[in-house]
Amino acid sequence: MHLSIRPLLLFTVLLMLPSASALAGKLDLLLMPGPVIEGHAEFEEKCESCHETLKKAEQAGRCLSCHDHENVAKDIKLGEGYHGRLDESLANDCKHCHTDHKGREMDIINLDTESFDHKLTDFELKEGHIGVSCNLCHTKELKKYSDAPSVCFSCHEKDDAHKGKLGEECEKCHSEKNWREQAFDHDKDTEFKRIGRHKEIDCRLCHADGTYKNTPKDCYSCHLINDVHNGRNGTECEKCHSSYEWKKLAFDHNADTEFPLEGRHESVKCETCHIKGPFEKKPSKACYACHEKDDEHRGRNGEKCQDCHSVESWKKVEFDHGKDTKFPLNGQHKDLVCNACHRTAAMDALSDVTCFDCHRAVDVHKGEQGENCAYCHNEEGWTEKVFFEHDLTKFPLIGIHSVTACESCHLNAEFQQADIECLSCHKADDNHDGRFGKKCGECHNPNNWLLWTFDHDEQTEYPLEGKHREAVCDDCHRLPLEEHNSISKQCFGCHRGDDIHVGGFGRHCDRCHSTETFKEPKFQ
């Protein structure tokens, strides 16, 4: 149709319309390039709702003024969201992307989900979100793509194992890379730094009921069921234990106390000494305070156990009797047990002990030898190598006496009661039957009983001459010597029975006879 005819036809149509408003609406329909989309259908006969007459430049403002696009207008103004990041020329010309009048079924959004760059939005897809399908976040329930929530909890509420007890700020602990990979830094983000074994444990071990607020930070609240001390040692577990190993004590008894644990004490359980708990009352450091019941001496040796015993072994005695006392243990004393000497007194009560103090009860001499037992005896044995200087007594041992056994003369151990007279031992050997008295030593000597030392010529006033030298003692000394000390020196005293003259020539036999022979006179 020729263009000049259009105004005429238009005018003719307008004349046929009943009113001005109706006339305008119908005119809009005649001028409209095509049906609008479903969302704009109610405005199809009201072009002025969207179009500003003769003001094309203000068209974008009309689009954005619509209540459905207020959020878009805000994004453009603030430079946020997808539209706020577009080039200014595009942001101010909506129809560049969203043309209308294409029909009711037309999609004027023109969104290509396959090529859409999510970086142009306020929610850049990173790590785990990159491969996620669009409809997982942009669900059918949402009218617009921009209505999709940008906070984790909005999408992951159903995945929240904490059931909302930790709030909705999932990003504090989790990352976009992996839901189970935690970005939460317990050391920085809480008042409880995870040290040692705490780094390895699962959250639920401490937060068993899913409660994270007001979780106790003291050891005992969590480890009450592990307390082998049953509360006896208090609730301050950290004084002894560490976070690295529960069974390995962090408490250094050697450095932290005045009682270093040495020897067997290293393996002793705490409650053995700390009966009422280690922090209630400090136990005594004295051995006897703990070992009184182990004292086999029953208190006789005092309470200074460390003088004899060591922490390495109770039965191993380290006491050096030689160095630590004035009485070294030698000989048979080495094998004696302590209470053999220390029967009733403590150790220090025997500082000046002598042999007789211990051996008084077994003194066979009954005290007559004095109390200096070491003068004769030694520690090798009571009867071993007995030494006594007999020569310093009133009876020196000479000759056969020097090798004679003590008991030959000393019939019992009361040595001083032994008689020093020869006949007290040799009465049975006295061939003279006592006629020569008790002074055997005047004739005999200790080398041999038969070896005489008596010199009749020198020791008496009657030298033995002639046949007298061959006579035995008994020939003249027929009666006890004591009664005849002044035995007659005249021949007649002994030879009365041999006098053939019957006293006719008197008693001076030596006038005729000699000691050589009685039968021959001295002169013929």
Q: pLDDT for 365-392, tens place per residue?
A: 887 787 888 888 888 888 788 888 888 8
Which whole number is the average pLDDT over 107-123? 82
Q: By mean pLDDT, which of 47-61, 220-234, 307-321 is the weakest? A: 47-61
Report pLDDT for 20.
45
Amino acid (one-letter) located at 524: Q
Give tens-digit pLDDT for 431-457: 888 778 888 888 888 888 888 888 888
Distance in angstroms (rounded) separating the CA atoms of residues 156 and 179:
10
Question: Is a pLDDT exceeding 60 seen at residue 267?
Answer: yes
Distance in angstroms (rounded) separating the CA atoms of residues 72 and 92:
11
C-alpha torsion 160→161→164→168, nearest 10: -40
Give tens-digit pLDDT for 132-148: 888 888 888 887 888 88
- The alpha helices in 250-332, defined as continuous H runs, are 253-256, 270-273, 287-291, 321-324
Question: Is a pLDDT exceeding 70 seen at residue 100?
Answer: yes
Angle between helices 20-31 and 5-16 (to 10 degrees): 140
Report pLDDT for 351.
63
521 three-state secondary structure:
strand
Q: How far is CA 207 from the centre of its chain?
A: 35
Question: Is a pLDDT exceeding 80 seen at residue 29?
Answer: no
| Per-residue exposure over 376-403, b if at least 16 CB sit within 10 Å of its own CB, e if not | ebeeeeeeeeeeeeeeeeeeebeeeeee
| Per-residue exposure over 211-246, b if at least 16 CB sit within 10 Å of its own CB, e if not | eeeeeeeebeebeeeeeebeeebeeebeebbebeee
Name residue 445's beta-bridge partners. Answer: 448
DSSP 174: B
CB hemisphere CA count around 303 (13 angstroms): 9
Rg of the chain over CA atoms, in angstroms?
70
Report pLDDT for 349.
60
pLDDT-derived band at 418, boundaries 50, 70, 90: confident
The percent of residues in the chain predicted with pLDDT above 70, rounded, is 89
Which of these, 95, 97, 144, lies nearest to 121 by C-alpha position? 144
Structure tokens at 163: 């059931």
Residue labelled with tokens 């109706």:
22
Distance in angstroms (rounded) separating the CA atoms of residues 317 and 312:
10
Q: What are the distances in angstroms from CA 86 to CA 65, 82, 149, 191, 464? A: 19, 7, 21, 45, 173
273 three-state secondary structure:
helix
- The alpha helices in 146-229, defined as continuous H runs, are 152-156, 186-189, 203-206, 219-223
317 three-state secondary structure:
strand
For 214-220, which contacts have Cβ atoms below 8 Å and span 24 or more sequence positions?
217/191, 217/192
249 three-state secondary structure:
strand
170 compared with 347, residue with greater pLDDT: 170
Structure tokens at 68: 């459905």
In terms of residues, how long is the chain? 524
Distance in angstroms (rounded) separating the CA atoms of residues 50 and 28:
12
Domain ranges for the chain, please list them. Answer: 488-524
Mean pLDDT taken over the chain: 80
Structure tokens at 144: 């617009």
Which whole number is the average pLDDT over 21-39? 69
Q: Which helix (H) or strand (E) holds 357?
A: helix 355-359
